[in-house]
């Protein structure tokens, strides 16, 4: 049996990466595809769903004297473009905190603005407001909503407290710290229980919160927790007993 470290570092020449780059996910009876990029695809509705892009986080930090490489927006949009090549969905739904703050549009480079416009061409693009981007500049295109319901499911930025069903959200940036055969890794992950799902943050500088943190307890408790960890080349289901606190 391979260790978790080996699984997360599998290379194409050793294994058909396509076998592990996506996993089926069922939420309240609806069939989705979770992708290794951190995106979620809904075939029945032809919607690609991403959470917490945090575009222009690097420039926001730089304005406060915290210098980070200023390429996070370009890198995140490049990954999103690659994901849309794999899933050329008619609709893209962004689950809030797509921008690190309300001034992101003013700091975004012309090249990045053009890239975003190209991604939006010939498809519906929906921004949901998050706590970081309660206002989204209309120059960034798309439709801005607080939340949206599609096919009996509700999509919003922050998870509703308590045992809610039929809900898909972001906000918490779930990450899993996994111990397996003596190896420990920490990676972004999808976390759900079959009735609701929290997506990993898609943004390059987004970071992550351990799924064993108290913030997740009101959402899932011990009700059949399911975790899909994003590896370097694949997406892997991890048994809850292997999860470790930070």
Q: What would the pLDDT profile of 213-246 be if each residue is shown by its tens digit? A: 999 999 987 667 899 999 988 999 999 888 999 9
Q: Reply yes or no on whether the pLDDT at 13 is more than 50.
A: no
- Give this prediction's pTM: 0.89
Residue 15 is predicted with a pLDDT of: 40
Residue 221 is predicted with a pLDDT of: 74
Q: Reply yes or no on whether the pLDDT at 3 is more than 70.
A: no
Nearest one of 98, 150, 149 to 119, comparing CA atoms: 98
Q: Reply yes or no on whether the pLDDT at 10 is more than 70.
A: no
Residue 59 is predicted with a pLDDT of: 77
Residue 16 is predicted with a pLDDT of: 45
Residue 182 is predicted with a pLDDT of: 78
- Beta carbons of 240 and 225 less than 8 angstroms apart: yes
Residues with Cβ within 8 Å of residue 112, at least 6 apart in sequence: 55, 73, 74, 77
Least confident window among 33-37, 100-104, 126-130, 194-198? 100-104
Q: What is the mean pLDDT of residues 124-136?
A: 97
Residue 184 is predicted with a pLDDT of: 86
Residue 2 is predicted with a pLDDT of: 42
Least confident window among 56-60, 78-82, 179-183? 179-183
Residue 61 is predicted with a pLDDT of: 63
Q: Reply yes or no on whether the pLDDT at 6 is more than 90.
A: no
Which sequence spans correspond to the domains of the chain? 4-242
Residues 133-186: tens digit of each pLDDT: 999 999 999 999 999 999 999 999 999 998 899 999 999 999 999 987 778 899
């Amino acid at each position: 049996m391979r260790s978790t470290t080996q699984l997360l570092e599998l290379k194409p020449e050793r294994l058909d990466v396509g076998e592990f780059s996506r996993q089926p996910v069922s939420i309240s009876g609806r069939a989705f595809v979770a992708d290794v990029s951190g995106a979620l695809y809904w075939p029945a509705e032809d919607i690609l769903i991403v959470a917490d892009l945090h575009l222009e986080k690097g420039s926001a930090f730089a304005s406060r004297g915290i210098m980070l490489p200023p390429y996070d927006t370009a890198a995140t949009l490049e990954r999103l473009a690659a994901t849309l090549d794999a899933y050329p969905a008619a609709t893209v739904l962004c689950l809030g905190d797509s921008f690190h703050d309300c001034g992101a549009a003013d700091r975004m480079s012309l090249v990045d603005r053009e890239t975003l416009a190209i991604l939006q061409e010939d498809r519906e693009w929906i921004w949901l407001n998050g706590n970081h981007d309660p206002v989204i500049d209309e120059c960034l295109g798309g439709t801005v909503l607080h939340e949206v319901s599609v096919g009996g499911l509700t999509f919003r930025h922050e998870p509703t407290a308590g045992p809610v069903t039929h809900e898909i959200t972001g906000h918490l940036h779930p990450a899993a710290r996994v111990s397996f055969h003596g190896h420990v890794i920490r990676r972004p992950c999808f976390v759900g229980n079959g009735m609701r799902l929290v997506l990993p943050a898609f943004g390059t500088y987004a970071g992550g919160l351990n799924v064993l943190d108290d913030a997740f307890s009101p959402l899932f408790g011990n009700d059949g927790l399911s975790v899909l960890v994003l590896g370097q080349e694949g997406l892997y289901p991890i048994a809850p007993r292997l999860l470790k606190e930070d």
